[in-house]
Chain A
Amino acid sequence: TSTMKLILIFSALFGACLCLETFVGHQVLRIKTRNEEEVKQLQLLESLEHLELDFWINPSTAALPVDVRIPANNVQAVKAFLESHGIEYSILIEDLQVVLDKEKEDMAYGQQRERSSNSFNYGVYHTLDSIYAELDHLASEYSNIVSKFQIGQSYEKRPLYVLKFSTGGSNRPAIWLDAGIHSREWVTQASAIWIAKKIASDYGIDPSVTSLLNKMDIFLLTVSNPDGYVFTHTTNRMWRKTRSKNPGSVCVGVDPNRNWDAGFGGPGASSNPCSDSYRGPSANSEVEVRSVVNFIKNHGNIRAFLTLHSYSQLLMYPYGYKCTQPADYAELHALGRAAASSIRSLYGTTFTVGSICTTIYQASGGSIDWSYDYGIKYSFAFELRDTGRYGFVLPASQIIPTAEETWLGLKKIMEHVRDNPY
C-alpha cells in the first residue's frame, strides 16, 4: 500500500537531528493539489512528525495551495513522494537561510536609515494622517527649501496643507501642482508625496531642479480633498466628491472639478446632487476649491497650474467647457507632446495628448479651464496610470514607477515655464 511505501521511504531518515538553529538548505515548496485525494495524501504527510514538516499553509481544501517548509535532509524524500503521486509543486524558496540572512541585512539597513532619515514607505498607500506626518517630516528635514502652510480647511474642518519649495526671493514666479482633488484617485496623492521628496532631495544635485528653484517657487497641494480621501479609507473606496451636505437631498458631496468658475452650469456637469459629477449649487461653493482660488489670486504670480488625476494616461490642456481651441493651442500641444515623450522614455508608458473636450468629454467647471482663463497660460491636467486594467485600485507596486515617470513629464513642463517667462 502507499502508506507502507511512505513509511519505508522515510524510515531511513528517521532520527535526523535538528540541533542547529539554522535553516541552511531548508526549502519551501508550494504544492498545488487538484482534488480531495491529493489533499488526503498531504494530510498523511503532515502526520509524519519525524519529518519535521512546517506547514505555512495547511492542506485543507483543493482550492488553496499548500506551502510547507522542509528541513534540508528531508527535501529529496518529500519531493520523491510528491512526484510518485503525481502531485504538482514548485519551489517557493530554494534555501531559507539565504532569505533570512538577506532579511536581517535589510532590516539593519532599514533601521540605520530610520535613524538617519525616516521610515515613510513611498511604495504603499497611506492614510491622511500618515501623509500629513510626512509633510511635516519633509519640511523639517529640508527646512532650507521646504516649508508647510495652510490655505484653508475642508468642509469637515481638516487642514488643507501646501508645501512651498523656495530658495528665497520675494513672491517669485511660481508653479502650482495639486493632487487628489478626486479622492478615489489614490495614485495621485501617493505620487505627489513622492514628488515632494524628489524635488526636495534633488535640489543642489540635479542641475535642472536646482536652476528651477533658483528662479521660481513651487507650491504643492498633495491632498486637495482630505474629507473624500478619509472617506475612501473608512467607507467607500470609490468616493470621488467632497463630503459637503446638499440641502434638501440625501446625497452628499460635490464634484470639486466641476465647481470652478469656468463655464459653470454648462454641459458636462450634472445638476443632480446624487451624481458623481454634481457641479454644486454655485461656482466655488466648495471650500476646497475656494481655498485654492483665493490662494492663487492673493499670490498673484502663479505662472503654471498643474493638476493630477487618474486614470487613463492622458495629458490635457484647456478647454473642457467648450470644444474650441485655446489661443495658445500650438504651444500647449507641443509642450504636452514633449512631456508625454519624457514620460514614455522611462517605462514606455504612453500618454495621449489633447484638450479635455476632444480627448475625454466636455466638462464644465474644471480647474485648468479656470486657471487658463484667469491668465495662467501653462495649465495642464494629467490622468495617470493605468488605462483600466486596475483603474482606481492601482496596485501599490506601481506607485513609484508612476511617480517617477510623471515627474519626468512635470519637469519638462516646469523647465519650459522657467525658460519662457511671460
Chain B
Amino acid sequence: AAMEVPLSHGLASRAAALATGYLCYRRGSPGRGLALRSLRRARRQDIDDVGHKYYLELELEDVLDKDSTVICTAEVLYHLGNKNIAPDVQFTLEGELKNTDEADNIFYNRIKSLEKELVAENIPDSHGNVPPEMEPIRLLAWVASGYVIWQNSTENTKFQLAQIKHVKQVKRSDEYLEFDYMILLHDMVSQEIIPWEMTVLWHPQHGVQVTQDSRQPKHA
C-alpha cells in the first residue's frame, strides 16, 4: 500500500524534481521549458524485490509565461539494486500547454540560415544574465538536461541544470539542428557540480533528442 509522504520531505522533492526533468524532456522545446511550481501530493510505496514507487501530483509552469500552468500526475519507480537502470516515469497532463510552433520555427530558421556555426559560453553568466537571443539555446539545454537527469537519478540525487559552460552548433546536411553542449549539473544531495557533455538534436516536428552524453571528470 502507498503511504502519504509529507510534502516538505526530501524524498518527495527528489522524486518531483526527477519527474519534472523527464516531463520537460518529453514536452519541451527551445520555445517551451517546464519547471516545477509546486508539489501538491506525494505517496510512496515499497514494492518487494522491485523498488520504491512514488505517486505524485505536481503543478508545472511554463518558464517563459508563469501564468501558463498544467497539473501533472506522475508515477516514478526507482529500481532496487542495479543503479544503472533509469527510473521508470509515467505521467499524464491536465490542461493545455501553450503552442510554441511560431517561436520554434523562427528559432529554427534563424539557426539554419547562420553562415557560421553558433558558439557561446557561460549561459547564464556569473550574474544570472542570459542575452535574449540565447534564451532558446538555453531552453534547449534545459530540456535536454531533463533526459540526462532522468537517466542518472536515484533516490539519493536531486539534479538541476546549473549552467551551460559551452555550446557549439554542429552543421548538418539534413533537416535537424545539432548542438554540442558542455553543461554543469548540480546535485543538491551531494552538493557536487558535475560537468556533463551532451549532443542534442532538434527539429520543430521531431522534438528533442540526446544522441550521446557522458559525465566528465571534475577539475581539482
Contacts and interface: CB of A to CB of B under 8 A. Distances in A.
Interface stretch (A77-85, A365-373, A387-395): A387-395
Is chain B's binding surface mostly helix, strand, loop or mixed? loop
Contacts of B101: none
Interface of A, helix, strand, loop or mixed by DSSP: loop
Contact of B191 (A32, A36, A240): A240
Nearest to A33: B110
B95 interface: no
Given A359-B10, A360-B188, A395 B127 contact: yes
A276 interface: yes
Contacts of B17: 388
B144 to A, nearest CB: 16
B198 to A, nearest CB: 18
Nearest to B10: A360
Given A65-B133, A277-B190, A395-B124, A359 B113 contact: no
Given A35-B113, A395-B124, A389 B35 contact: yes
Given A360-B10, A392-B162, A255 B191 contact: yes
A358 B163 contact: no
A217 B130 CA distance: 41
A388 B149 CA distance: 13
B133 A238 contact: no
A18 B138 CA distance: 43
A62 B113 contact: yes
B111 A63 contact: yes
B126 A276 contact: no
Contacts of B63: 389
B193 to A, nearest CB: 5
Given A353-B8, A388-B17, A34 B106 contact: yes
Contact of A34 (B6, B110, B192): B110
B8 A359 contact: yes
A64 B133 contact: yes
A391 B186 contact: yes
Q: Which of A32, A35, A393 has the most CB of B within 10 A?
A: A393
B96 interface: no
Interface in A216-263: 232-233, 236-238, 240, 250-252, 255
A239 to B, nearest CB: 9
A280 interface: no
Nearest to A397: B128
B38 interface: yes
B160 interface: yes
A9 interface: no
A274 interface: yes
B3 to A, nearest CB: 15
B1 interface: no
B84 interface: no
Contact of A62 (B110, B191, B193): B110
Interface in B1-45: 6-10, 13, 17, 35-36, 38
Interface string B162-198: 1100000000000000000000101011111100000
Interface residues of B, number: 42
Given A238-B162, A387-B36, A360 B109 contact: no
B115 interface: yes
B218 interface: yes
Contacts of B13: 352
A208 interface: no
Nearest to A354: B8
B191 to A, nearest CB: 5
B127 A396 contact: yes
A65 B109 CA distance: 14
Contacts of A97: none
B191 A276 contact: yes
Contact of B124 (A252, A359, A393): A393
B191 A277 contact: yes
A324 interface: no
Contacts of B190: 270, 275-277
A233 B17 CA distance: 29
A350 B220 CA distance: 36
A251 B219 CA distance: 9
A275 B189 CA distance: 12
Nearest to A353: B8
A61 interface: yes
B114 A61 contact: yes
Contacts of A397: 128
A300 B174 CA distance: 72
Nearest to B21: A388
A295 interface: no
Given A275-B192, A388-B35, 10 more contacts: A61-B115, A270-B190, A277-B190, A277-B191, A277-B192, A350-B38, A387-B35, A388-B17, A393-B162, A393-B163
15 contacts: A61-B116, A64-B133, A237-B163, A270-B190, A275-B192, A312-B188, A350-B38, A358-B9, A387-B35, A388-B17, A389-B63, A393-B125, A393-B126, A393-B127, A396-B127
Interface of A: 32, 34-36, 61-65, 124-125, 232-233, 236-238, 240, 250-252, 255, 270, 274-277, 312, 350, 352-354, 358-361, 387-398
Interface of B: 6-10, 13, 17, 35-36, 38, 63, 106, 109-111, 113-116, 118, 124-129, 133, 160-163, 184, 186, 188-193, 218-220
The 6 A-B residue pairs with the shortest CB-CB distance in the complex, in nearest-first order: A395-B128, A388-B160, A354-B8, A238-B193, A276-B191, A393-B128
